[in-house]
Amino acid sequence: MQINRNNIDDLTATLTVTVEPSDYEGRVDKILKDYRKKSQIPGFRKGKAPMALIRKQYATPVLADEMNKIISELLGQYIQEEKLEILGNPIPKSDSASSGDWEKPSIFTFAYEIGLAPTIDLTFGRSAKFTRHIIKVDKKAIEASVTDHKRRHGSISEPAEANDTDLLMGIFTELGADDTPLEEGITNESNIALEHLDDRKTKKMLLGAKVGDTFVVDPHKVSHNHDDLGKLLGITHDQAHDLKSKFSFEVKEVKRLAPHENNQELWDKVLGKDVVSNEKDFREKVIAELGFQFDRDAEFVFRRRFAVDLIDHMKIQMPDAFLKRWIQMSNEKPLSDEQLEKEYPNYAESMRWQLMQQAVMKDTDMRVTTEELEEEAKRVIGAQYAQYGMPLEGEMLDNFAKNALSNEEERRRIADLIIERKVVDNLKTRVNIKEKQVSYEDFAKLAAAVR
């Protein structure tokens, strides 16, 4: 047996596999003899049927099965010996018919196409310039944070009528053309925050609302975008995008938040008892808190954006035509051409990032230790429970982490988190990064644009 390689271009090649009788005859004969021993063919004792009859019935399918195994083994061995870095798996050439006679087997040839991984050059040079946006802690941000603390520690009442800062809790029901409930329409319990309602006409209508009142509303006018509308009505983004119905909104509760006074009691609730004793010191603590929070947010957004921007900067070429054919062939459910063209860019970008990570890992001999896995598992699990107000620590956290790492899929996911963080840390040292101060509002727009 032998394999000949013909490079089509820098990223694709054809492998022509030649399989001779000596490569498959012994394997096929062994299987057919085993078949004969177990055969129960009418007119013959068990295991005594003529070999010619066994060959006639089973030789072709056995040969086909063994040929697949031989080719798979041969291709795998060749790729390993030649140190080829391929993408996906070899696929049969669509424009090349196999040569060989399955009824009278002799020499067979098969042609496969492979996609080659592009070379990743980690020497970026001076042109690789990136921006890390720093959020300015200005007066507006400080006042917003103080207001947020006052609201979070405020008191809630249930007034008889709603004013322009109240929260209306109720039920949305989809209406038909005659403004009656639509059969099998959308129904969802949700709320309307009058304070954040932009549509003046709708806000005016809802002012003074009482428990039991019902209003006809345009859901697009009590939400800010399609994602917000989806959450409001419990539907998908696509459903929200196409929604044209009006809805009734029945008020079930009216909630009013009275912000906490900016006094010692508030400062103790936010910072701990007697940490500060005056408003000036409280604001200094708020500024420090914002600085830490903003820096964390800035780093998170930068790292997400950096990976995308660096890939765009490198312009890594991929064997696109090959990968599209491979995706079509390997996908369990058939993909239409439209689906493939829509989904392929994200797939290719993800693969570019994987190749980048592999290049950095190879260049730095990067490893993930058991200790790193355990610490990351504890960090991830601890954060998950903390957000539900159930902090874990000590032996209980250790046990949860060990249990998570005993699951191979979860272990791999946690290892991937560590690798990605290490890779980004390493790549940051190889490029030029400048910092740029922006307002919180501008930063929020940048964060929303991160893919």
3-state SS of 363-426? Answer: HHCCCCCHHHHHHHHHHHHHHHHHCCCCCCCHHHHHHHHHHHHCCHHHHHHHHHHHHHHHHHHH
Q: What is the CATH number of domain 155-258?
A: 3.10.50.30
Q: Would the pLDDT of 332 be above 90?
A: no
pLDDT digits (tens, 9 = 90+) for 400-420: 999 999 999 999 999 999 999
Q: Is the pLDDT of residue 97 over 70?
A: no
Helix (H) or strand (E) segment spanning residue 249: strand 247-258
Q: Residue 141: pLDDT above 80?
A: yes
pLDDT of 132 > 90? The answer is yes
CA-based torsion, 228, 229, 232, 235: positive or negative: negative
Please tell me the CATH code under which domain 2-116 is placed.
3.30.70.1050
User: Looking at residue 448, what is its pLDDT?
Assistant: 79
18-63 pLDDT per residue, tens: 999 898 889 988 998 888 888 878 878 787 788 888 888 888 899 9
Residue 434's pLDDT is 94
Residue 210, pLDDT > 90, answer: yes
User: How far, in Å, CA of 71 to CA of 23, rounded?
Assistant: 10
Mean pLDDT of 372-391: 84
Of the chain, the end-to-end C-alpha distance in Å amounts to 48
Per-residue pLDDT for 119 more than 80?
yes
Determine contact, residues 227/164, Cβ cutoff 8 Å. no
The pLDDT of residue 321: 92
The pLDDT, as a whole number, for residue 126 is 79
Longest CA–CA span in the chain (Å) reads 104
Which 3 state secondary structure label does DSSP give 125? Answer: coil
Q: What sign has the CA pseudo-torsion 373, 375, 379, 381?
A: positive
Q: How many percent of the chain have pLDDT more than 90?
A: 61
86 contact partners, CB below 8 Å, separation of at least 6:
79, 114, 115, 116, 117
3 phi/psi in degrees, rounded to 5: -130, 130
pLDDT the model gives residue 451: 56
Task: Record the tokens describing residue 218, joined without a space.
Answer: 């345009």
Dihedral sign from CA coordinates of 272, 276, 279, 280: negative
Q: What's the CA gap between 347 and 327, in Å, rounded?
A: 10
Q: Give the list of residues 6+ apart from residue 125 with CB closer than 8 angstroms, or none.
A: none
Distance, in Å, from the CA atom of 245 to the CA atom of 192, rounded to the nearest integer, reads 18
Partners of 247 in the β-ladder: 174, 217
Query: Apex CA 86: angle with CA 81 and CA 90, to 5°?
Result: 90
Q: Which residues pair with 7 in a beta bridge?
A: 13
- Tell me the DSSP string of 282-314: HHHHHHHHHHHHHHHHHHHHHHHHHHHHHHHHH
Among 188, 176, 134, smallest CA distance to 437 is for 134
Helix (H, G, I), strand (E, B) or coil at 28: helix
Residues in the chain: 451
The model's confidence at residue 103, banded by pLDDT at 50, 70 and 90, is: confident
pLDDT at position 199: 93
CATH number for the region 277-448 comes to 1.10.3120
- The domain limits of the chain are 2-116, 155-258, 277-448
Whole-model pTM over 0.75:
no
Long-range contacts of 92-96 (CB under 8 A, 24+ apart): 93/14, 94/325, 96/14
Q: What is the pLDDT of residues 234-277, one digit of tens each?
A: 998 888 888 999 999 999 999 998 999 999 999 999 999 999 99
At 391, the pLDDT band (50, 70, 90 cuts) reads confident
Mean pLDDT, rounded, of the chain = 90
Instruction: Lowest mean pLDDT of 91-105, 109-123, 338-352, 363-377, name the range.
Output: 91-105
Residue 280 has pLDDT above 70, yes or no: yes
Contact partners, residue 250, CB within 8 Å, separation at least 6: 170, 171, 173, 212, 213, 214
Query: What pLDDT was estimated at residue 95?
Result: 64
**Percentage of the chain exceeding pLDDT 70:** 98
